[in-house]
A = this chain, B = another copy of it.
Amino acid sequence: LPRKQRIEVCFTPAVYHKFHNNETNVVVVDILRATSAICTAFMNGVKSIIPVSTIEEALKYKQQGFLVAAERDGIVLDFADFGNSPYNFTAERVKGKTIVYSTTNGTQAVNMAKEANKIIIGSFLNLQSITNFLASDGHDVVVFCSGWKDRFSLEDSIFAGALVESLINTNHFETICDSSLAAGDLWSIAKTDLVTYLQKAAQRSRLKKNNLDDVIEYCLTPNQTDIIPIYYTGSLISLDNCENDNIFIQRKIKLKI
């Protein structure tokens, strides 16, 4: 019997370097709200999303004519076309377009993980479809919680626990990592009533303070889409658009040269 695929959970970007491995598939998670918003954008037909880490980069793209979504601490940046709410990424705005996206935590995590094997975007919205993909793709998995400014975030960790459970249930995975075990246990408490459980989360309070918490239930509702946003040479695209995985083969060749 071959060994099972392994799952590890990284609770904050500050420790991602401890988990990084070129051969590992990474799931970037920022439930409230970046990765839920990215899934929504692809559901609404966005062509690609360029994740940028700094405000300066986002501004530079804006000056080049790109549509830019950008926020810091939940607040839309003044030069941006819109902010971080999934409800901003309507078909009317994003269909067929390439947009540039910069957030407090999530898009920076994507850029930190970019040397991993495959980087995909996870949220409750696509939980089952990323489970199926990760099981069939055959690599070990790191669930990379974006957290809040290098701190532990309850909603990202709960989702990590949901994904750990879902992956273990495929029978392809095992974990011996303490953070995966903890995430799974937190999920076991939270799952009977997610919305109530996350009432106490700090990020929920931050959003509420700014009247931005209208998306909470939406972001916690699982399996709304089969779309898997995946990172490819600087952009997020939909896995559907990757014919027979060839672009990844090309990418690997490119990385070896």
Interface residues of A (CB under 8 A from B): 11-12, 14-15, 18, 148-154, 157, 176-179, 181-182, 185-186, 188-189, 200-203, 205
Distance between Cα atoms of A153 and B14 in the complex (Å): 16
User: Is the pair B11, A152 in contact by a Cβ cutoff of 8 Å?
Assistant: yes
User: Is the pair A152, B178 in contact by a Cβ cutoff of 8 Å?
Assistant: yes
User: Is the pair B178, A189 in contact by a Cβ cutoff of 8 Å?
Assistant: no
Q: In the complex, which residues of chain B have a beta carbon less than 8 angstroms from the beta carbon of A157?
A: 178, 182
User: Is the pair A151, B179 in contact by a Cβ cutoff of 8 Å?
Assistant: yes
Given A15-B14, A186-B186, A178 and B153 contact (CB-CB distance below 8 Å):
yes
Contact of A15 among B12, B176, B189, B202 (CB under 8 A): B12
Distance between Cα atoms of A11 and B186 in the complex (Å): 15
Given A12-B15, A15-B12, A154 and B176 contact (CB-CB distance below 8 Å):
no
What number of copies of this chain does the assembly contain?
A: 2
Contact of A189 among B176, B179, B189 (CB under 8 A): B189
Distance between Cα atoms of A230 and B233 in the complex (Å): 52
Q: What residue in chain B is nearest A181 (Cβ atoms)?
A: B200
Q: In the complex, which residues of chain B have a beta carbon less than 8 angstroms from the beta carbon of A205?
A: 176
A6 → chain B, closest Cβ, in Å?
12
Q: Which 4 A-B pairs have the closest CB atoms?
A: A152-B179, A154-B178, A14-B15, A14-B14
Distance between Cα atoms of A189 and B179 in the complex (Å): 15
Given A14-B15, A186-B185, A178 and B150 contact (CB-CB distance below 8 Å):
no
Q: In the complex, which residues of chain B have a beta carbon less than 8 angstroms from the beta carbon of A148?
A: 178
A16 → chain B, closest Cβ, in Å?
10
User: Is the pair B150, A18 in contact by a Cβ cutoff of 8 Å?
Assistant: yes
Given A14-B14, A15-B150, A182 and B178 contact (CB-CB distance below 8 Å):
no
18 A-B pairs (CB sep. < 8 Å): A11-B11, A11-B152, A12-B14, A14-B14, A15-B150, A15-B151, A18-B150, A148-B178, A151-B178, A151-B179, A152-B179, A152-B182, A154-B178, A176-B205, A178-B201, A181-B200, A182-B186, A186-B186
